[in-house]
Structure 1
Amino acid sequence: MHLPSRAARLLAVAALPLVLAACGSSGTSDSSGPSGPSGSSGSGAGPAAAAGSAPKDPDAGLLTGARLKRALAPASAFPAGFAVDPDAARDSGDTFAPAAPATAAGHDCARLDGTGWIEITGIAGASFAQNDYADRGATQDVAQEIDAYRGDGAAWVLAGLAEVVAACSGFQDADTHSKVTVTGRATPGLGDGAYTVTLTDDSWENGTTLVAARVGHHVVSVLSTAGHDNGAATARALAERLVGSVRGAL
């Protein structure tokens, strides 16, 4: 498990990005990606549009935040003694956020050390739902989030994670001022593609595992510090459950 001050900070770091996402300025996107994606949220100009056909709905097939909230894992899926943090539970409701351009994949590597970590790719979604669970002493944290992306944005999220990790071999922990080591790898056998990031630090009692897995136009993301394996087993099991939940909701 982590030092208590660090686990509490993980929960605090999540709050601001989630509030911004609910307002449409973070967690909202078109299908843009880190290297200039092909989008599907454009004007619709082309042969079909020229012939008078209606442009394709860029939100077709995407789950709203309200539906994504129902796909999140219930309390029974978390370790005994863990409880939801009501202040960190957010979703985008029944509407989709307006499209917004992607930002460059950021190299603010310390953003990986928080429950809103998926936003480090700079690619925001059309809708989302998220919540966090912590143990009684707030020494361990398990967070889950599902985002829907227009066009090929979901695929660009995974590509963006690989770019970020390549640029983020390490960063300084804000509390301990020690070095956090960042490693990542593509993860086969999970969804339509997945990527796992591991954060370790000699001053921590346990590391952190982050998992992102794509399901069509949706990405499930998990953060775990639970257990004694850098949170790996808990993160993988929760990601697998969320992948199944999203597939069942589509």
Structure 2
Amino acid sequence: MSDLALAGRRPFGTDLLTMVGRCLRLSRRNTDAVLMSLLLPVMLMLLFVYLFGGAVNTGMAYVSWVVPGVILLCTGFGAATTAVSVTQDMAGGITDRFRAMDVSGAAVLGGQVAASVARNFLATVLVFGVGFGIGFRPQAGPVEWLAAAGILLAFVVAMSWFSAAVGLLVRSVEAANGFTFFVMFLPYPSSAFVPIDSMPSWTRGIAEHQPLNPVIESLRGLLLGTPVGASPWIALAWCAGLLAGSVALSVVLFRRRTG
């Protein structure tokens, strides 16, 4: 089989769990990448809060304003590293070996996405922990926490599948690494670190209509008890569209690369 069809001989769940375990073991061995994905967002949060926070007027404690943005930066960067993992597997020939063993493409790529979700869970917990330590005090109840977690999960899954598609599209690890740094800078032209109304008019237009901004606004509103308006629905619509397009593109690219 050369597409993303379900595995024939073994249960799909068995192959998927095997691929997830493999990806997590590889992540654990890649100490440099793990440390960077965990420590970089924390360092940026401390930098913004203690060096720039006093100069930015957000109408609330700056740490409360910035934590949702740092979480998106953290999860976006972590999900984007899926592109590097997929590219390494394709370039190294391991994917062809899996296909020869009748492991489905859905299991191969699904394992990468599931491992990305697990890695991002750890990084998010760390960011929240540091945020609590420096003064972040959310006002959310159980329902708001669940809603925020659902939106964040939808974003991570959609971005991870998009990154998997990019990993199938590019031919070198260097190109995949370039994509991760592009994703890392996406939160900057948004309300992640400064209010949008403080930006120049042309930047404000970009910030208001880019896909990460409604996710950030949703997390901030849900966690801090401020009005969210339609942001959660817009965020979920962006995630659903990105997920559907990424899965479809992954199907086409996986067939083309392994057929």
TM-score of the aligned structures, taking structure 1 as reference length: 0.31
By percentage of residues, which structure has more strand? Answer: 1
Structure whose CA Rg is larger: 2
- Name which structure has the greater RCO, CA cutoff 8 Å, separation 6+: 2
By percentage of residues, which structure has more helix? Answer: 2
